[in-house]
Amino acid sequence: MSRQVKIILLSIGILVAVTAIIILYFGETKSLGVEAGVLIEMYEVPKKEPLQNLPDPAFGCKYELVWVKVSNPTGKKLSAGTEDFSLLTESGSSYPFSNKQVYLPDTFPTLIDVLPNTNVSGILLFEIPKSEKPAYIVFQGIKIPLPTPLTYSPEPTWTPSPTTVPPPTTPPPEPEPIEFQGTGQKVTTRFYLHKGIAIFRMHHYGSSNFIIWLYNADTGERVELLVNVIGTFHGATIVGVTGEPLQASPGNYILEITADGSWTIKIEQPHPTSASKPPLTFTGEGTRVSPPFMLESGIATFYMKHYGSGNFIIWLYDSEGHRVELLVNEIGPFEGSTIVGVTGQLFEASPGIHYLAITADGKWKIVVT
């Protein structure tokens, strides 16, 4: 065999081998799909609420996740705080939620179809086995390996675009307060809740049960229990009208009132443009909503003290109605502090105006610094 023929055959062999390696590499890359990260953060959401319609802004779509099959090719144990996620170390561990089934195989092909780019984080919502609390689980650093194109394209030339100054935004007008009054058990007429924060101020002058449920007037869904006490009551609570899971959506609503005495209800949807900054001290008694206050980037410290014997719960809301963080959830007398990072990152507070929704049966004091 001549030297030229040997060289030609050797070249063909090398070309075939390189082609096979490329095909195997890209084929394996596609079969792996999404690689799950190992860093997990857990965020508490209210118990006994439906886990559905999870909006994911990164993907631009919604899922009703009633079944999740998790792939963890790293083989590392996943944990967050004291919660044990060891069951997630095996590829393909699955967790059912109901009789329905939305199935995401090991490589998350459903997510691959809608991911806009290659290096993003994914958000899944499921219930931790052997835990009473549903949780948000954030898989950070989910990556999609994509094949490298074999063709070469020159880099496009950069042309500066003219700088445009956006027109100043005008805050939407603040809706007029909505007021209802009556005696005994009643159902209100329809009213509309706009997107944002809604503050319900309620008074009862009876001696028996005082219960108010918020219903979606169009779907019939029972959205939120606003108050459930016995006897005279003067208090306020917040409903976030954001359209997000476990919160109300803009639309028509009615109230169902159970009472044995006279009552009044006032619904406000404030749009404050300025507010006081820390250090601030709030004092009060019972279930209340704090005045608006401003949080700036950095760390906010909340000192809290309760003198009652029942529930002491404080939620931090932003001015758009998002429930930002649960500051305390105790029973009886309490004194303590907590920190909130005001970073603007996912599931953390953003700089801006905020409110506190306090549930208590005694006197309380809150200091924000």
| Count helices and strands in the chain by DSSP H and E runs | 2, 27
Which pLDDT value is given to residue 87?
Answer: 34
CA 75 to chain CA mean position, Å: 28
Q: In terms of domains, do 79 and 102 share one?
A: yes
Tell me, yes or no, whether 262 and 310 share the same domain: no
Check residue 38 and give its pLDDT.
32
Same domain as 298, residue 358: yes
For the chain, the domain total comes to: 3
Domain boundary among 238, 271, 304: 271
Q: What is the pLDDT of residues 89-132, one digit of tens each?
A: 333 333 333 322 233 333 333 333 333 332 333 334 333 344 34
Q: What is the pLDDT of residue 299?
A: 96
pTM over 0.85? The answer is no
Q: Is 191 found in the same domain as 249? A: yes
Q: Please name the residue that has the structure tokens 């410290």.
A: 301
Structural domain boundaries enclosing 314: 273-369
Residue 53: exposure state from Cβ atoms within 10 A (0-12, 13-18, ≥19): middle
Q: DSSP of 3-22, one letter per residue?
A: HHHHHHHHHHHHHHHHHHHH
How far apart CA 328 and CA 59 sit, in angstroms, is: 33
Q: List phi, psi (to 5°) of 284.
A: 180, -170
Q: Taking a C-beta distance cutoff of 8 angstroms, is the pair 275, 262 a contact?
A: no
Residue 5 lies in a domain: no
90 and 66 within one domain: yes
CA dist 206 to 233, 259, 260, 273, 308, Å? 8, 7, 5, 38, 22
Q: Is residue 238 part of a domain?
A: yes
What is the spatial distance between Cα 34 and Cα 74, in angstroms, rounded to a whole number?
A: 12
**112 part of a folded domain:** yes
pLDDT of residue 357: 98
> 127 and 47: one domain?
yes
pLDDT of residue 188: 97
Indicate if 259 and 325 belong to the same structural domain: no
Specify the pLDDT at position 135: 35
Regions in the chain scoring below 70 on pLDDT: 1-7, 9, 15-171
Q: Which of 112, 139, 166 is the last residue of a domain?
A: 139
Structural domain contains residue 152: no
Same-domain check for residues 181 and 237: yes
Q: Is residue 9 part of a domain?
A: no
Judgement on whether residues 266 and 283 belong to the same structural domain of the protein: no
Same domain, 235 and 324: no
Same domain, 222 and 290: no
Q: How many CA atoms lie within 13 A of 275 on its CB side?
A: 22
- Alpha-carbon distance of 303 to 290, in angstroms, equals 14
Q: Whose CA is closest to 94, among 62, 123, 124, 71?
A: 71
Note whether residue 103 is domain-resident: yes
What confidence score (pLDDT) does residue 319 get? Answer: 95
Tell me what pLDDT residue 155 has.
52
119 lies in some domain: yes
User: Is 348 inside any structural domain?
Assistant: yes
CATH classification at residue 194: 2.60.120.380
Final residue belonging to a domain, choices 225, 248, 271: 271
Residues 263, 324, single domain; the answer is no
